Structure 1
């Protein structure tokens, strides 16, 4: 058996032991959630929140805390287990029961090095949603992102108006872990680079994780758990919302499907006396609307869904960030690799102090250029586990090995520098085959359809090269490993590319279209706007043409955010809760 195989077995044994210990502890210290409700016909609540992910958990919490109204939270998944709490093991839950495990439709302009040219699109399934499987990176956002919305006519969403909500979403001093200068030699190099490039209009951000005492501190922990036991909150898990029912222009109830242990589904109708809020995320909020007959009239009629509200932009305007990762080997001990993780000292350090490699996800920091709309991220991982990453990314083997040529060396030191266009122009869509929400929606991010996205990413790559080959990193003796992809061989990499690290634009475009990967930052599919002809919701996040129905989650973003979106989605949910409470206080 290979060394890598033995490492994988040992890691599996460690995870199994930890899981067994957690199950024992869980049974002993089992959380008594009095809010869990057995489904039954005839329930009436003031508010019904569809989706217990990032936005839905925040909304349910705030509506419960700050009103005397009754709240029903419907979640299609269940709870997450202990593994989700350990920051470094974030990707372990991908392709598990806590992941929707979506795949994009085959991509025309990208993903050529992936099976069937389909990107893997993980989404959290369970209370807390994707905030339970993400990389926990906190980002305050940039004023320019919100002021761009203001220029589009969305004056209620300017940076000035959003600031108090963004401040409210910030983790407190004991709710985050920030990478310090002396965390590693890579972190020290990142810190020196900020000085070296002070003449550039670049913003260096050391990674800040929403981690508390070494464990994930997402919306489930920070928000939802705080209202367990409140009389006015009820939660039904494993509940799939099949349809929002509209009568005389008012959203009055939802039809929910719940399966028993034998897989037989029973449907229930739950009524809302005030509002229904869809918070199912960028892929599933449009799915819920379309399956309910809220969307483009001609399309709905074509697939046999009765039309309740003709709304042309539902499922349109989908966007996402696309990354190009490049592996950089170094001569200094500075990164996460299999040997480091299997160190008894490392494991004991984490479980006794909550620090060390297991206490974060390895991202050291970001470098953003708002002028060039490009970004770079340093990911301090040396040895890349082939079987694990290929499984969750959908890579073909030969293209994975081209990207990570030292995949076989479990002791390899290095880092991955990731280049991104922060404001992509390409737009995709989410559509459904029929009204069965248990069938995955057809998700087409349409990556790299616009040539400006390619040019923007190439600018980001060249900035990344400058950082990795700067004097600040010289002490690490970095070597960029340019992917040797057969289909790109006419463009490089040539000997001079490895020597000077200045490959042609044609080569960079080619590898981007073959091995570029999603950032998992989808949004825009129920965008906010001024009319039903250019958007799905108005500035108060109310669905055009339907009273008592809002969408509040990443799907309402008009344009991309220039970084990790999770904390901004929390801020939007806080703002949404305030809008809901204000509009219903006199009812």
Structure 2
């Protein structure tokens, strides 16, 4: 038993042999043996299934798109494996999005404690919301459709990733888009499409507070713009991945229309992938092992004749790679995992990070008073209209430049306005930042949050020493480890504060709650050092974790995949999700992830088809 990690060896008596361990210990250890690549151990209860041409791991923002596009090839047989359950109906109601965090369709991941961030959050860590459900994070996110900036993709190409410039990726944004707002399409026809699978639309309900915010930003000189067109700088009531007042996840958009019609596509939910199967002589991935939710002991083995496509997301894709022997040598050797390819898996973590603390009291236009939720539910059921068909003021977003950004047309701060509660903030600010208004339609405060679009800080993800297979991976985002990020965000805060001098805010009695937060009481409220303290104590994140399987040329020592998204040093394995982003895009990441999947699908077809579809 020398190969068994120290923390697992005590599951059997020290004087016993592996075969004499009684269930479930024996079964668990054989699973661990499989995980760490010891072929001399047999697999009891292994279920060997038939072959597929392609196996897609993860039915999230990217996986659903790939499953749709490559199943267009009728002669290909495809298996899509998802750890979570089917998408629940409640997830489609926009205002209920705040109830999905911490539910059974959330992986419940949290960041590790750090001296630079999340210091006064629950457990000295920040939640890292990830969808464990058909549609993945597109089923639990706030639905904002933002592509990022032209320079994001040009920078990817300039770093040696051929084919990823803005002009080369724009057709893939258009390919997926079904834009349901005719005026936006008419105003910018070169940047929008109405014939894709993914519905993009403004919510049908806009409350008065959103209008006040839009007017205030315009008073400060920020124009109303279509941030997905030629100019990203300005303010917009954002379009969302929704259709007629209902969320449209990638599961809803790309899979539901074809899932029962294409006989060559098999979808399995509650299928937890434990390992990639590799031919160690050729470094060729030949399949995957997975267990079902109701039977962790039974191993199911399935083989891929062409490729395994890993679309498990920026946390789980690196975890699966490392468990399979693909990752940093020093990390894998700690667990006795056989190293197949020594790559910087789990490094290069980036996220859109910001702060809470700019809480605005609203009185005349509060929606928390005289709540008519029963009536609103009835209206929503009948028409998909009313307050429940929107997410409060959250879709009002401003993209702006601080003094630190010198390149024309490129923002470095995004401002969001989140529905909040005055009472919660005043009574217990320490808990306020870990609670949300449920549903988002009813609120009497707005938390205006500046977020960093191009962070310089970089983090990493490690396997969990207590249980590498089943325990959550260790997420170290290292927010604010580069002090320049704090300086940029302070500039964002000072721009936000100018809103309180606008006529729109004054005449509607929008006032800043200038309550000094106790962990920062050594600083005077409003000073730059005070805001920096608030950032580190009450860190905010949009859960846009990316970059953990970085795309890069051969000359890049941090590259995990090449420009074709193939894993370096391993054959027949491709990664298609947000983890491949070499640098985070300047905006919400879901639209960019869908684009990546559209482009990757064409790459797959180009490589495996000689005569087209």
Q: TM-score, normalised by structure 1?
A: 0.84
| 141, 147, 165: which one aligns with 2:148 | 141
Q: Structure 1 residues 402 and 355 mapped into 2: Cα distance closer, same or farther (>3 Å)?
A: closer
Give how far 1:105 is off.
1.0
| Helix, strand or coil at the partner of 2:172 | helix
- 1:496 maps to none
How many Å separate the matches in 2 of 1:116 and 1:411? 28
Encode CA deviations 1:213-258: one digit per residue, 9 max, x unaligned. 2221111111011221211001122111111122212111111122
- 2:37 maps to none
How many Å separate the matches in 1 of 2:288 and 2:563? 24
How many Å separate the matches in 1 of 2:53 and 2:214? 51
How many Å separate the matches in 2 of 1:241 and 1:364? 35
Encode CA deviations 1:246-293: one digit per residue, 9 max, x unaligned. 221211111112243xx4521122111111110000100000000000
Give yes or no for the alignment of 1:376 onto 2:387.
Answer: no
Give yes or no for the alignment of 1:267 onto 2:299.
Answer: yes
Give how far 1:568 is off.
1.2
Q: Structure 1 residues 155 and 197 mapped into 2: Cα distance closer, same or farther (>3 Å)?
A: farther
Give yes or no for the alignment of 1:455 onto 2:462.
Answer: no
How many Å separate the matches in 1 of 2:95 and 2:521? 36
How many Å separate the matches in 2 of 1:113 and 1:49? 39
Aligned pair count? 523
How many Å separate the matches in 2 of 1:411 and 1:432? 40
Give yes or no for the alignment of 1:192 onto 2:215.
Answer: yes
Give yes or no for the alignment of 1:77 onto 2:84.
Answer: yes
- 1:354 maps to 384
Contact 1:367 1:376 in 2 (8 A): yes
How many Å separate the matches in 2 of 1:264 and 1:489? 50
How many Å separate the matches in 2 of 1:179 and 1:216? 10
| 251, 263, 285: which one aligns with 1:220 | 251
5+ unaligned residues in a row in structure 2: which ranges? 1-45, 182-198, 224-231, 406-410
How many Å separate the matches in 1 of 2:222 and 2:129? 39
Structure 2 matches for 1:218-297, cutoff 5 A? 218-229=249-260, 230-247=262-279, 248-260=282-294, 263-297=295-329
Give how far 1:163 is off.
0.6
Contact 1:469 1:478 in 2 (8 A): no
- 1:6 maps to none
- Choose 546-555 or 75-84, whichever is displaced more: 75-84
Contact 2:325 2:341 in 1 (8 A): yes
| Helix, strand or coil at the partner of 1:417 | strand
How many Å separate the matches in 2 of 1:515 and 1:438? 29
- Choose 233-242 or 278-287, whichever is displaced more: 233-242
| Helix, strand or coil at the partner of 1:299 | helix
How many Å separate the matches in 2 of 1:348 and 1:291? 48
Structure 2 matches for 1:86-97, cutoff 5 A? 86-97=93-104
Contact 1:171 1:210 in 2 (8 A): no
Encode CA deviations 1:86-123: one digit per residue, 9 max, x unaligned. 11111212222211101111122111111331111121
Give yes or no for the alignment of 1:424 onto 2:424.
Answer: no
RMSD of aligned alpha carbons: 2.7
- 2:368 maps to 337
Q: TM-score, normalised by structure 2?
A: 0.80
Give how far 1:67 is off.
4.9
Encode CA deviations 1:418-437: one digit per residue, 9 max, x unaligned. 11111111111111136843
| Helix, strand or coil at the partner of 1:253 | strand
| 586, 598, 603: which one aligns with 1:562 | 586
| 516, 519, 537: which one aligns with 1:484 | 516
Give yes or no for the alignment of 1:517 onto 2:540.
Answer: yes
| 546, 550, 573: which one aligns with 1:549 | 573
5+ unaligned residues in a row in structure 1: which ranges? 1-38, 390-395, 494-502
Structure 2 matches for 1:398-409, cutoff 5 A? 398-401=429-432
Structure 2 matches for 1:195-214, cutoff 5 A? 195-198=218-221, 202-214=233-245
| 83, 100, 111: which one aligns with 1:104 | 111
How many Å separate the matches in 2 of 1:155 and 1:205? 32
Structure 2 matches for 1:462-481, cutoff 5 A? 462-481=494-513
Contact 2:315 2:461 in 1 (8 A): yes
Encode CA deviations 1:298-340: one digit per residue, 9 max, x unaligned. 22112211111121x100001111121321012321x542643
| Helix, strand or coil at the partner of 1:307 | coil
Q: Structure 1 residues 529 and 357 mapped into 2: Cα distance closer, same or farther (>3 Å)?
A: same
Give yes or no for the alignment of 1:539 onto 2:563.
Answer: yes
- Choose 201-210 or 149-158, whichever is displaced more: 201-210
Give how far 1:440 is off.
1.1
| Helix, strand or coil at the partner of 2:456 | coil
Q: Structure 1 residues 364 and 199 mapped into 2: Cα distance closer, same or farther (>3 Å)?
A: closer
Give how far 1:383 is off.
2.9
Contact 1:319 1:424 in 2 (8 A): yes
- 2:206 maps to 183
How many Å separate the matches in 2 of 1:237 and 1:560? 30
| Helix, strand or coil at the partner of 1:274 | strand
Q: Structure 1 residues 42 and 188 mapped into 2: Cα distance closer, same or farther (>3 Å)?
A: closer
Contact 2:52 2:78 in 1 (8 A): yes
Q: Structure 1 residues 96 and 191 mapped into 2: Cα distance closer, same or farther (>3 Å)?
A: closer
- Choose 546-555 or 187-196, whichever is displaced more: 187-196
Q: Structure 1 residues 564 and 443 mapped into 2: Cα distance closer, same or farther (>3 Å)?
A: same
| Helix, strand or coil at the partner of 2:478 | coil
- Choose 343-352 or 455-464, whichever is displaced more: 343-352
- Choose 433-442 or 121-130, whichever is displaced more: 433-442
| Helix, strand or coil at the partner of 2:179 | coil
Structure 2 matches for 1:387-398, cutoff 5 A? 397-398=428-429
Give how far 1:54 is off.
0.9
How many Å separate the matches in 2 of 1:411 and 1:256? 43
**If each structure's helix is expressed as a fraction of its own residues, which one has the higher value?**
1
Moved over 4 A (4+): 401-404
- 2:601 maps to 577
- 1:505 maps to 528
